[in-house]
A and B are shown apart, each in its own frame.
Chain A
Amino acid sequence: KNEVEQSPQNLTAQEGEFITINCSYSVGISALHWLQQHPGGGIVSLFMLSSGKKKHGRLIATINIQEKHSSLHITASHPRDSAVYICTVRGGSNYKLTFGKGTLLTVNP
């Protein structure tokens, strides 16, 4: 079992819909990151969380440390949001990031 589990693996939405991607982890962590990767593209860091909630534009990320769970929400989704969203956690070692397998989001116009 992967230490970081994401759901769903694939998600298709219509433009304007509210999107939620979930991440559960089984290890103790110092921080959790949400990353975005466009097909064939590089990786961009969206959020770093160690507690609570963060918002940036239409993106909102939350984390519940006790439940070892984080969610990434996208409000008013747009086709340009189509990408793979990756959850990664930092545990005892700050450089050995543990990654989820990613959620492929497709937003149709």
Chain B
Amino acid sequence: NAGVMQNPRHLVRRRGQEARLRCSPMKGHSHVYWYRQLPEEGLKFMVYLQKENIIDESGMPKERFSAEFPKEGPSILRIQQVVRGDSAAYFCASSPSGGFTGELFFGEGSRLTVL
């Protein structure tokens, strides 16, 4: 049973380009959460999605950031017109139902570097 899969593991973008980060939850999990880890900072909640629905995006920056979790395929975190401050590690976690009632399952993270 594969764990939470994230790709790419490392992504380099120039300022103004777009970054797309993908997350495939564990088998049987239909809830996905994205967290951001800025350098020297702790992890921060960004968005919570179920299939085809955004449940809570209160942690997402108001502009340039969007997330989706389509009926088929992985969840996508999209960052448009990236700036240097977007350089961070982006982690995805999944759970079988709403909220974490037990163990946490995180992916390996996607490390975005903006030049």
Contacts and interface: CB of A to CB of B under 8 A. Distances in A.
A84 to B, nearest CB: 10
B104 interface: yes
A42 B109 contact: yes
A43 B44 contact: no
Interface string A81-100: 00000101010011111011
B102 A101 contact: no
Nearest to A100: B42
Given A43-B109, A45-B106, A95-B56, A2 B101 contact: no
Interface string A21-52: 00000000001010100001111110010000
Given A35-B104, A42-B107, A45-B106, A95 B48 contact: yes
Interface of A: 2, 4, 31, 33, 35, 40-45, 48, 86, 88, 90, 93-97, 99-102
Interface of B: 31, 33, 35, 40-45, 48, 55-56, 59, 91, 95, 98-109, 111
Given A33-B104, A99-B43, 12 more contacts: A2-B42, A42-B106, A42-B108, A43-B91, A43-B109, A45-B104, A86-B43, A95-B33, A96-B56, A99-B44, A100-B42, A101-B41
